[in-house]
Homo-oligomer: A and B are copies of this chain.
Amino acid sequence: MRKTILWMFFTLISLNLSAQSQRLEEIHGKTILLFTPHPDDDVFGAGGTIALLNRNHNKVYIVVYTNDNKGSYDPDMSSERLARIRRAEQEASEGLLGTPKENILWMGYDDGMLEYAPQPKLTEEATAIIRRIRPDVLLSVDPGEWYERWHKTDHRMAAFNTIDAVRAAEFWLYFPNQKLQQGLEPYRVPEMYFFYPAPQEANYWVNIESVADLKLEAAAKQVSQFEPSVTKYRPDWDAKDLEKAKAEMRKEQPRKDGHCVEAFRYATGFIQY
């Protein structure tokens, strides 16, 4: 494709942020689509931003690639039970941030196995979602440089698959049956924000000061992912454990210019240079 000619000349620095019409935290009444590898990365990576977007009357959709049904040390846990737990926790967590349960779309892949999902079927499915939701803004996990080290896991696959789908969604001849048989028209995603960026590549920060506590509350709904529940499942918090978990998350929360922030890499095209 001809677009590649640009590839040679642009650098990261040259990305024209001024082209951006509006701050993410200020948009109203738009459609937002977020792709997350597991039910919780959305909250940990962009929970404050999600809360702000919901508060501003945007329509937020969360697509969850996997069912997160393996990450427990509890020998009595089963994969079906963990999937059930994770779904309820995610609905509670996103619910606190203002996202209604029916806006959470589960792609239903097994935890830790996204890399082995049939390709390009996976891309086709994500493409159909984009063409149906037609988001004004897309959020996704960053397919950044370090992903190669955190390699071969759901994170990397979710990251790359989502931008593959962004590219495919744009040209109707990719997966043409989506138009011919299901009536889905091609769609060009105008703006993208990637959470979990490599520090040196983050180029956009959302001030989440006003919703920082809410984010902690929401994150804490993912009980099964914290000690002691991750080792021996219990559905609720002991007050002391909860306090400790929140304190730790508070400490880990990135700050910039004295404010709690969430970091993103902002981009406007599928060629992520």
Residues of chain A touching chain B, judged by Cβ–Cβ distance below 8 Å, are 1-9, 11, 38, 40-41, 44-45, 67-73, 75, 77-84, 87, 106, 108, 111-113, 115-116, 118-121, 143-153, 155, 160-161, 163-164, 167-168, 170-178, 180-182, 186, 196, 199, 219, 222, 225-226, 230, 249, 252, 254, 263, 271-273
Contact = CB atoms under 8 A, between A and B. Distances in A.
28 contacts: A1-B38, A1-B111, A2-B230, A6-B252, A8-B196, A8-B252, A8-B254, A67-B181, A72-B171, A73-B170, A75-B172, A78-B78, A78-B173, A79-B176, A82-B173, A83-B176, A84-B180, A87-B180, A112-B167, A112-B174, A115-B120, A118-B121, A145-B145, A145-B148, A149-B273, A151-B272, A152-B160, A152-B163
A111 to B, nearest CB: 8
A252 B147 CA distance: 30
A13 to B, nearest CB: 11
Copies in the complex: 6
B153 A164 contact: yes
